[in-house]
Structure 1
Amino acid sequence: MPKPVLLTVDDDPQVLRAVERDLRERYRQDYRVMRAASGAEGLETLQELAARGVPVALILSDHRMPEMDGVEFLKASLPLFPEAKRALLTAYADTSAAIRAINQVGVDRYLLKPWDPPEDGLYPALDELLAEWRLTYRPAFEGVRILGSRWSPRAYELREFLARNHVPYQWLDIESEADDPDLKRLRAVVDAGAELPLVELPGGAQLPAPTPADLSEHVGLQTRAEQEFYDLLIVGGGPAGLAAAVYGASEGLRTLLVEREAPGGQAGLSSRIENYLGFSTGISGSRLAQEAVIQARRFGVEIVTQAVTALRADGPYRVLELADGSSVSGHAVILATGVQWRALDVPGLAPLQGAGVYYGAGTTEALACKDEDVYIVGGANSAGQAAMNFARHARQVMLLVRGASLATSMSQYLIEQIEQTPNIRVELNSSVVGVHGTERLDAIDVHCSISGQTQTLEATSLFIFIGAEPGTDWLSGTLERDGRGFILSGPDLMHGGKRPKGWPLDRDPGLLETSLPGVFAVGDVRRGSVKRVASGVGEGSVAISFVHQYLARV
């Protein structure tokens, strides 16, 4: 496969040469740098690259160009390479136009001229864009292959598992008519009796219908702790858990993080988080999770992919029981298990989960929905972010909102972006009351609370974002929880000024501490938490100071 292309476009020959020079200096090992002297020439170049199947990673365009300015050019390039990252090179006087381009056209970043030295003004921004592009780029493949049906719940589960763990894989749809030699070869294995979905590992080994747990060790994920005892055990690898891991390990605590599925939690499924401090053009949840995992491992955090089934006290120690029958002990525990999407209570919907009905952002499904109509249920930020992501691929995105306004539950910046996206349609006062389909979703019934009418719409993809609930049943009888299952901590444990029943210490529970001393709850799983990525990160980092205080007393 040819190297991915970095294309720079500018009508000023001197600036064009300077940009090309700096790009080659930094990126020539991994990318091919090309240039064009106008928007029209740039489009011709992109058309040629698309016809030859050459990937384009980044398009960097000057703003002020005759005939076609930079914003118009970047917008025109979208159909040719929708996954390429786009940056606008502009003067300080044009920053308002650049910001409009980010909001209206989907430009990923704007850079100011002059950018010297490039180590400060150019490379950091481009490094970040290219790292994010590589997360979704699928080069000529030498990794895991999955053969299955798009409508298979097990195949969807495997794809989502690998994507969220940043394991590169190639998806082969058994119903595809593509003339692909790998598709034909693996079809023959299925015809000979292998069960779908069929997974082929690097090196050629094949796994018929594996579970994510079966696949974990084969793709390099650690499933067992290396030690029996740690200073700090963290359950859950969302933003709160990862923050706790980074701060704990950086302050000298031997730290183990146990995550059931994949680091990032619900935030890791977000296509774009645009209001997280420090990222002016936003950051994908996947990229944020990946960077946090790298940071945690750099400080020595051990990360294990396992489900935790029980928590218990053993004298001064705290013990986690794991799904494989093993256990691990530590001085202190931080629970950062987050929340799970609440199920939509519609008859017949559960059997279609993974076969047209999905909870969460469906990171692996966006490309599969190209030129289709997509329905999204929900009116909060997660639903809005998903709508913006799917709008890049789908023919139309229908946002079904039970309330009378988006303003009560969605950030204003997202509302404005949705209003400016022509293929997103918002239906207020609307809810899904029925689904149709046997092996896959065929149609949905949508009820309008204003008119009282229900209409049946053809649908193949329904994504649900209707709030969340904690999955804390495994803590029943161990920790105090509220009626919805959220963990009580700190002042919430004090009933009429009295300490929780069975509390053994001569002090009140600390802030974020649960009804079991030395066990702390952070992030969305804790009652009263603010459901934001930044607040989860804050709680995870602050909890480490309480862990130190606890360890100093025991």
Structure 2
Amino acid sequence: MPAPVILLVSQEHADFLLDEFGRYQRDYDLRTARSSAEAIEVILDLRRDGAQIALFVQDGLLPDAHPLEAFAHWRAKVPTARRVIAAPFEHFLALAGPMRPGLAKGKYDAYLLMPRGPRDEEFHGAISELLSDWNATVAAPEVDTVRVVAPAGLPLTSAIREYTGRMGMPTRVFEPDTDEGREVVERAEAAGVEVGWPLVGTPWRDPVVATSVRDVAHILFGSTTDDLDVEQVVDLAIVGAGPAGLAAAVYGGSEGLTTVVLEAEAIGGQAGTSSMIRNYLGFPRGISGMRLAQRARNQAIRFGVRFLNGWEVTALEPAAAGDEAHLLHTDGGTIRARSVVVATGVAYRKLGVGSVDALVGLGVTYGSAMSAARETEGHDVVVVGGGNSAGQAALHLSRFARSVTIMVRRRALEETMSAYLIGEIEYNPRVRVETCAEVVDGGGEGHLQWLAVRDLDTGEVARREVQDLFLLLGAEPHCDWLPPGLARDQRGFVLTGRDVPHEAWPDTRPPASLATTVPGVFAVGDIRAGSMKRVASASGEGASVVPLVHEHLAP
């Protein structure tokens, strides 16, 4: 397959940009054009040759089109490519005013100052981020870390690939009769493994037959309490590795607390499924949930934090009188901890339509499923949900799908979705919003093929052809493992601080702001009643809980 293309478009600076982008020559095919019309010709030629375009770069001074209109034309032909304006120094400030509002609408991805000399790493850092994002979400992996071998139509295969993708591990799926599939099967047979599907292979371990995503977590990151050397009581055990749990881990580890994080699924929680978070402080071009989560995990590991992936906490046994340790019971062993932070987040609610839920993994997905987006090319897709996660999923899917419909029961998105996402959705020609609607039925032969949708105003039910359905239906807490003495609200969210009823106070005063009714047990992030349900606020709570842990641990 030909190398992906970086297309540089400028009437006056094409040669300069070509020289400046020379550092990418090994991995990308650099092309130039001197007008929008010439760029269109190059795009059509590349498409005929089967080449992918990773990045458009223009200087904002095209001779035959407004720069934003040019981006719109190019985007219509190559929706997956990233788009950059690299303005020359003499025009940078003059162009900034009219150009930058287009960023808020998602018309392009970055407004940069054209390099004025060698080694402009600020410029190339931005370019590398965009190319990295394109490679992670659009291009097929050149080198894989995980190989999954399974016949087509196996729902667990999609779940495994989504998990490894969220963990930042390039994964490819092969059918058993391919050369790559046979190679993994032969390795399994040589190791004495009874072959079944899906068969999961990695470079450092013998292939295994997975029965669940948790099996894969143990294969890739498996450890036991013996590996942790936790015969001594740890200072802090964090249950859940979403943004709140990760922040608590980073700050706990950096301040010298012996810290363990237990996560039943993928690092990052719901935020880890977001294709692009644009309103997180410090990332002007946005960052994917996976990258944010993996960076935080690596940061915590640097401070000595230990992660137990694939470990589900089944029960919390509060410290008995005179005992310093709470007990966290898991299928991998028991962790003893002086303090516990509950950061398990929430799960998406189920649709409750049996015919649709029967097709999970076969065109129906709970969550955004970034890895499945590539397979929606040419499809008509429905996203059910009105929160930020649904908006981010719809915009990402629009890079691939023929059409994306955001379906909500409400009359508008403004009550539940951030304004910047609504602005991008309004501009995107492939995304439309359908209000006052709900899915009541669906079906297909081995894969989703149709949905029945009820109009909540008229009661009429219409059937439509749909190939993919993504369900992001809001929050449900997972608190069955918590002890009865830990107070929760009517919906099951954990009560903390002054939200705890007077009769449940553990002494004459209310608990501290993030403390629960069990001394030494804290709650942060989406699992906490009254939380904001945003990545930044969850991270803030995770950082804020560590001083309270110190106070609890103080003699």
Please state which band the TM-score falls in when normalised by the shorter chain.
0.7 to 0.9
Q: CA deviation at 1:244?
A: 0.9
Matched with 1:36 is 32
Structure 1 residue aligned with 2:495? 488
Deviation for aligned residue 1:182? 3.4
Deviation of 1:86 after TM superposition, in Å, equals 2.5
Which of 299, 303, 307 is residue 303 of structure 1 equivalent to?
307
Aligned equivalent of 2:11: 11
Counterparts in 2 of 1:80-229, with a 5 A limit? 82-90=79-87, 91-104=92-105, 106-113=107-114, 119=120, 121-136=122-137, 137-148=139-150, 151-172=153-174, 181-182=179-180, 194-202=195-203, 205-220=206-221, 226-228=228-230, 229=233
Post-superposition shift, 1:350? 2.9
Tell me the alpha carbon deviations over residues 268-318 of structure 1, each in whole angstroms, 9 at most, x when there is no partner: 111222222222332221222122222222222222101111112341112
How big is each residue's C-alpha offset from its partner over 1:354-409, in whole Å with a ceiling of 9 and x where there is no partner? 22221111212211111111111122222222111111111111221111122222
Structure 2 contact 14–34 (Cα < 8 Å) conserved: no
The 1-side partners of 2:66 and 2:185 are apart by 49
| Structure 1 residue aligned with 2:420 | 413
Residue 334 (str. 1) matches residue 334 (str. 2)? no
Is the alpha carbon distance of 1:17 and 1:291 closer, same or farther for their aligned partners in structure 2, counting shifts above 3 Å?
A: farther
Q: Which residue, 333, 351, 358 being the options, matches 1:351?
A: 358
- Aligned-pair CA distance for 1:338: 0.3
CA contact (8 A) 1:111 1:121 kept: no
How do residues 384-463 of structure 1 correspond to structure 2 at under 5 angstroms? 384-437=391-444, 439-463=446-470
In structure 2, give the amino acid aligned to 1:310.
Answer: A
Q: Does the Cα contact within 8 Å between 2:246 and 2:297 map onto a contact in 1?
A: yes
Q: Count the aligned residue pairs.
A: 537
Check the 8 A contact 2:18/2:32 in 1, yes or no: no
Instruction: Rate the CA distance shift 1:492–1:103 in 2: closer, same or farther, 3 A.
Output: closer
**Counterparts of 2:407 and 2:151, CA distance in 1:** 27
Q: Distance in 2 between matches of 1:458 and 1:149?
A: 25
Q: Is the 8 A contact 1:216 1:223 kept in 2?
A: no
Tell me the SS of whatever aligns to 1:383: helix
- Shift of residue 342 of structure 1? 0.8
Letter in 2 for 1:394: A
Distance verdict in 2 for CA 1:187–1:53, change over 3 Å: farther
Please, which runs of 5 or more residues in structure 1 have no aligned partner? none
| The 10-residue stretch of structure 1 (218-227 or 257-266) with the greater mean CA deviation from structure 2 | 218-227
User: Does structure 1 residue 288 correspond to structure 2 residue 292?
Assistant: yes
Contact 1:159/1:364 (8 A) holds in 2: yes
1:47 deviates by 6.0
Q: Mark the CA change 1:392 to 1:522 in structure 2 (over 3 Å): closer, same or farther.
A: same
Specify every segment of 5 or more residues in structure 2 that has no aligned partner in the other structure, as ranges: 189-193
> Closer, same or farther in 2 for the Cα pair 1:280/1:427, shift >3 Å?
same
Residues 24 and 152 of structure 1, relative CA distance in 2, 3 Å threshold? same
Q: What is the aligned-residue identity percentage?
A: 38
Partner of 2:524: 522
1:189 and 1:330, CA in 2 relative to 1: closer, same or farther beyond 3 A? Answer: closer
Give the aligned partner of residue 251 of structure 2: 247
Which residue is equivalent to 1:313? 318
Residues 487 and 504 in structure 2, CA contact (< 8 A), matched pair in contact too: no
- 1:120 & 1:317 partners in 2: Cα distance? 49
Q: Is the contact made by 1:234 and 1:241 (CA closer than 8 Å) also made in structure 2?
A: yes
SS at match of 1:479: coil
Counterpart AA for 1:329: R
Partner of 2:439, secondary structure, is strand
Q: Secondary structure at the match of 2:370?
A: coil
- How many angstroms apart in 2 are the aligned matches of 1:528 and 1:339? 13
Please state how far the C-alpha of 1:223 moved relative to its aligned partner: 6.1
- Could you tell me which amino acid in structure 2 is paired with residue 426 of structure 1? V
Q: Of residues 58, 61, 64 in structure 1, which corresponds to 2:61?
A: 64
Please tell me whether the aligned partners of residues 497 and 515 of structure 2 are also in contact (alpha carbons under 8 angstroms): yes
CA displacement at 1:416 relative to structure 2: 2.2
- Give the superposition deviation at 1:351: 2.1
When residues 544 and 116 of structure 1 are mapped into structure 2, their CA distance, relative to the original with a 3 A threshold, is farther
Shift of 1:545: 1.1
The 1:494–1:198 alpha-carbon spacing in structure 2 relative to 1, beyond 3 Å, is same
Q: Answer yes or no: is the 8 Å Cα contact 1:10–1:16 preserved in 2.
A: yes
Q: Cα–Cα, structure 1 residues 180 and 119, in superposed 2: closer, same or farther, change >3 Å?
A: same
SS at 1:327 equivalent: strand
